[in-house]
Chain A
Amino acid sequence: MSSAVATKINEKVAETVFSQLADAVTSACSAHYTLTISGETSQFMRFNRARVRQTGQVSDGNLTLALMQNERTASATVPFIGEFDVDWPLLKTALADLQALVPELPVDPFLVLPAGSATSRTVNQGELLAADAIATTLLSAVQTLDFTGIYAGGLIFRGYADSAGQRHWFESTSYSLDFSLFDAQNRAVKGTFAGNQWQQPQFLDKINQAKQQLAMMSRPVKTIERGQYRTYLAPAAVAELLHMFSWGGVGEADLQQGNSAFGLLRQRQRQLSAKFTLRENFEAANMPRFNTYGEVAPLQLPIIEQGQLVNSLVSSRSAKEYHTPSNFASRGEHLRAPEILPGALTAEQILSTLDRGLYLSNLHYLNWSDHPNGRVTGMTRYACFWVEHGEIVAPIENLRFDESLYHCFGDGLIDLTNFQETIPNIDTYDQRGLGDCRVPGILAEDFTYTL
């Protein structure tokens, strides 16, 4: 099996040409610069009702050149097709544009100049389904089901070079299948399946698990009145809450600028549970450790340890502005390889400890409802159940929740599961995303539902 994407760009070509382009910029430019690349050759197939809705492939790549001169900087992005004779003229023009533009701009006091001598190369090879085999392989197994979703697979690459001589390369051949199964009453369950090697038996297992869960949805729906209920949030639901930590969350710039939900945590006016520990952990992450400054993040970085904010994510730009050491975060200071450490709750104890309340498999469309107080609103989605006497009684109608992270990860946190799940990043805005998070489920007291 192979990723049969008909394109010139492949991993060897991309890395070689990128290296030639970096050499060419070094020869043509005496100022400081950084050069980054991102690209992909991807196969997408979208499904509805166990049929193909859209199918196609995308071959895309971009180079971003940032020029630094006399405390000023600007960047230019141009297409990358993997052919030096085509790519270099575009990049050379961009360089000339920047050389004319940068002297005209205001001084940037927090400019980060390339420094260091780091190099890295990570190649995650994969064996994926051939493009012409995807529909048959996937859909043959789900013909009795209302199966909907998307398969995305192929090569993703990222690279970095700078005037200090640092060079990094990361590539990954991977796939993800993000799907839902619906029943005749429009109730649904969700599954994701991702990796570097397509494994048919595991795919069939995943479908069977989803079918079993869907069967549980066939019981009559229970309408839940608004109020507060003890709630179990499965790992996929916890991952949705975890996203909020990267959106006006634990970044140093956000904390400094009054744009964080965790300002009160840092000021020790609010606290989280001693059972809650969040860290960055690149050990098994399908994600580059280097950032757009060419810096390599520490393998692990504690962020919240036993409920205390012990580190924010500090980029080298924030480090200059706020006079605090950088921990080589990305420019946007978002979590790249987050992990919430597990607790003590076993899988077998989840329902009995929940006893009476709600079991939520997924959450949907989260947003801050009171950002400085860490309050988040969103919806329950997919397989969510009412539980009584430690047993699943009925699926529920979707509910709106509105709850503070200071409660569900703070005084309302009963326990976390003793197991974690890896939730892949399946975003495909502009380009296929990389990375994942590792999270346990959580059991929380008095989770608030409002509509």
Chain B
Amino acid sequence: MFELLSDVVKSATVSADWIGIRAVKDTAKTCAVRDAHPERNAQNLGHGAMVEVLAQGQFGYSATNDLSATSLARAIVAAHNQAIAASAWAVHRFTTAARPKATGSYTSPHRKGLDVLSPAELNQILLQVCERLKVSDKIAQTSASARSHDIEAWFVSSNGSEIYQRDYLVETHFGTIAQDGPITQLRTDHGYLANSYQGGWELFPGLDLWQRVQRVGEQAVDLLQADNCPDLATTLVLAPDQMMLQIHESIGHPLELDRILGDERNYAGGSFINLEDFGALEYGSPLMNVTFDPTVPGELASYGFDDVGTPATREYLIRQGKLERGLGGLESQQRSQVPGVANSRASSWNRPAIDRMANINLEPGDRTFEQIIGNIEHGVYMETNRSWSIDDQRHKFQFGCEYGRLIENGQLTRTLKNPNYRSVTPQFWHSLSQVGDRNTWEMYGTPFCGKGEPNQLIRVGHGAPVCAFDKIEVFGGAV
């Protein structure tokens, strides 16, 4: 592939400052089962190339799934024409500093390949998951799914970049709906496809699968009889599988430099953060340490280089509550003059790179889970996101969870159904009062972070400990 791409770039006849090609091949397999019957068995081969040309200070792109030399050469001309036609209207005069030379490779850590588990074997495991989820006749629906991706990417450029990256991904899910008359309750294994990681089939089924299945089934039934979450302001304790969403929506997105620069205002929105806040703003409690870290082995959005070739490094975004750095790639860094990270990423070959999250993690603190709960006279503990909504400046949010427990006098007591909470981002993070230690830290991922025009879904990872927040408004459902 490198030879083909390099030859095409070298043979280009257009007058350009820079030419780059990012070719991607994605081989995916999906098995999905519902109520112990197969729902979907699919394999998907996708491939194509994103050709980018910088001319007269403007990038233009042309993406094609025809990987012949003729087609790629035509795409270079088309991308060049795009750049020239728009250059008089460019939002910024980019230079080749936005695409420095880089070489290297990255491969996801994995102990087993993605071919060691056949679709037939996978179906049998998933059928069994559905059967074992049915712990009661009140279980109305069960579902389980697993998918793998083997994604290869080649990046070459006219200034000598040559990068090869190969991601092995395993994304799994199971869950159930319990029903008793008009009451229904959803319970899943940490949220839809939250068990998404880099690696091979050593990640699934795993030694604790059947315990988790049993717990999910039993908790779904338990929720049917549970009290609604009370409506009050109290101490809120969030498990890592809800912290994932909390970090994503109220730290990750507001720190994206392209949002702050206005690119995203027509779609996902802007940010309450301004460029002058970097290096100055107290984002939250001093207990808050947040990193951009694409180097965590096995976390879903780890990589060696972003999609324009920037080497990936771990960076603090927020340290002891203070905002240090934005989530912006080289183009946004040129425009904003704010320090950023290696996060110019694209969902695939058919979309241009934009500023994205990768792995955004909240670093662990020093409290055990027992200490956190033991310090709380009254509060609510919540697990697993099921509802999320936040305003277009990433300010006012309301999130809902699948499973709650009341905290009374330092103990977890009754199960609560329909646990929800709402707050405003800066106020919320300043109320962070306890941060769990490394033993409470868990990482999850999601393949569904949506953003961009044209729209893109991208994979992100989030790791976090259990955390407690003071005086948060919590509430329940209608019945």
Residues of chain A at the chain B interface (Cβ within 8 Å): 5-8, 42, 44-46, 48-49, 51-62, 72-81, 83, 86, 90, 94, 97, 101, 104-110, 131-136, 139, 148-150, 152, 178-180, 182, 186, 188, 190, 257-259, 263-264, 267, 269, 364-373, 375, 377-379, 381, 398, 400, 402, 404, 427-430, 432, 450-451
B266 contacts A51, CB within 8 Å? no
B455 and A427: CB pair below 8 A?
A: yes
Give the Cβ gap from B151 to chain A, nearest Cβ, in Å: 15
Could you give, for residues 435-478 of chain B, a 1 whenever the CB lies within 8 Å of some chain A CB and a 0 otherwise? Answer: 00000000000000010011111000000000000000000011
* Identity of the chain A residue whose Cβ is nearest the Cβ of B179 in the assembled complex: A258
Interface residues in B228-253 by Cβ distance below 8 A to A read none
Q: B420 near A76 (CB under 8 angstroms)? A: no
B182 touches A61 (CB 8 A): no
In the complex, whether B1 has a CB less than 8 A from a CB of chain A is no
A182 to B62, CA, bound (A): 30
Contact status B183-A372, CB under 8 Å: yes
Please indicate the chain B residues that have their CB under 8 angstroms from the CB of A106 in the complex: 37-38, 123-124, 127
Given contacts A178-B266, A429-B457, contact A109 B37 (CB under 8 A): yes
Asked if A105 and B478 make an inter-chain contact with CB atoms under 8 angstroms apart, the answer reads no
Interface residues of B in 31-45 (CB under 8 A from A): 37-38, 40-45
| A181 closest partner in B (C-beta) | B266
Q: How far is the CA of A57 from the CA of B83 in the complex (A)?
A: 11
Instruction: Enumerate chain A residues within 8 angstroms of B347, measured Cβ to Cβ.
Output: 430
B431 CB-CB contact with A under 8 Å:
no
Q: Which residues of A contact B71 (CB under 8 A)?
A: 8, 81
A382 to chain B, nearest CB (A): 9
Contact B392 A364, beta carbon cutoff 8 Å? yes
Q: Which residue of B lies closest to A4 (CB)?
A: B81
* Residues on the B chain within 8 Å of A178, using CB: 266-267, 453
How far is B42's CA from A250's CA once the two chains are assembled, in angstroms? 26
Q: How many Å from the CB of A67 to the closest CB on chain B?
A: 10
Contact assessment for B42 and A450 in the assembled complex, using a CB-CB cutoff below 8 Å: no
Q: Which residue of A105, A107, A259 contacts B41 across the interface (Cβ within 8 Å)?
A: A105
Residues on B with beta carbons closer than 8 Å to the beta carbon of A77? 42-46
Closest-by-CB residue of B relative to A179 is B266
Partner of B46, one of A79, A108, A367: A79
Indicate whether B261 reaches chain A with its CB closer than 8 angstroms.
yes
A73 touching B396 in the complex, CB below 8 Å, given contacts A135-B85, A263-B184, A375-B477 = no
B265 interface residue per 8 A CB criterion: yes
Please tell me if B174 contacts chain A, counting CB pairs below 8 Å.
Answer: no
10 closest cross-chain pairs (CB), A and B? A56-B61, A428-B454, A150-B453, A51-B91, A6-B78, A104-B120, A132-B85, A74-B41, A257-B141, A258-B184
Chain B residues with CB under 8 Å of A7's CB are 64, 74, 78
Q: Using Cβ atoms and an 8 Å threshold, which residues of chain A touch B265?
A: 48, 148, 180, 182, 188
Complex Cα distance, B45 from A61, in Å, reads 12
Say how far A2's CB is from chain B's closest CB, in angstroms.
Answer: 14
Which of A55, A375, A432 has the most B CB atoms < 10 Å from its CB? Answer: A55
**Which residues of B (391-430) have their CB < 8 Å from a CB of A?**
391-393, 396, 398, 400, 418, 420, 422, 424
Selected contact of A139 from candidates B44, B89, B455, CB within 8 Å: B89
Q: Does B90 contact A (CB under 8 A)?
A: yes
**B90 A51 Cβ-Cβ under 8 A:** yes
Shortest CB distance A92–B (Å): 13
Known: A149-B266, A450-B422. A52 touches B63 (CB 8 A): no
Q: Which residues of A contact B182 (CB under 8 A)?
A: 263-264, 267, 269, 372
The CA-CA distance from A52 to B454 in the complex, in Å, is 14
B184-A149 in contact (CB<8A) = no
Task: Decide: A377 near B387, CB < 8 A? Known: A90-B45, A258-B179.
Answer: yes
* CB <8 Å contact, A404 and B478: yes
Instruction: Give the residues in chain A near B66, CB-CB below 8 Å.
Output: 8, 59, 81, 83, 86
Whether the pair A44, B454 counts as a contact (CB closer than 8 A) is: yes
> Which residues does chain A contribute within 8 Å of B74, judged by CB atoms?
6-7
Query: In the docked arrangement, what's the CA distance between A365 and B399, Å?
Result: 12
CB atoms of A49 and B420 under 8 A apart = no
A106-B38 Cα distance, complex, nearest whole Å:
7
Give the chain A neighbours of B368 by CB distance below 8 A.
none
Which B residues touch A90, using CB under 8 A? 45
Contact with A along B1-44 (1 / 0, CB 8 A): 00000000000000000000000000000000000011011111
Roughly how many angstroms separate A69 CA and B267 CA in the complex, as a whole number?
44
Write 21 A-B pairs (CB below 8 A) sorted by A numbering.
A55-B61, A55-B83, A56-B79, A57-B61, A57-B82, A59-B64, A74-B42, A76-B42, A79-B48, A81-B64, A81-B66, A105-B119, A108-B38, A182-B262, A377-B387, A381-B391, A400-B391, A428-B454, A428-B455, A429-B450, A430-B347
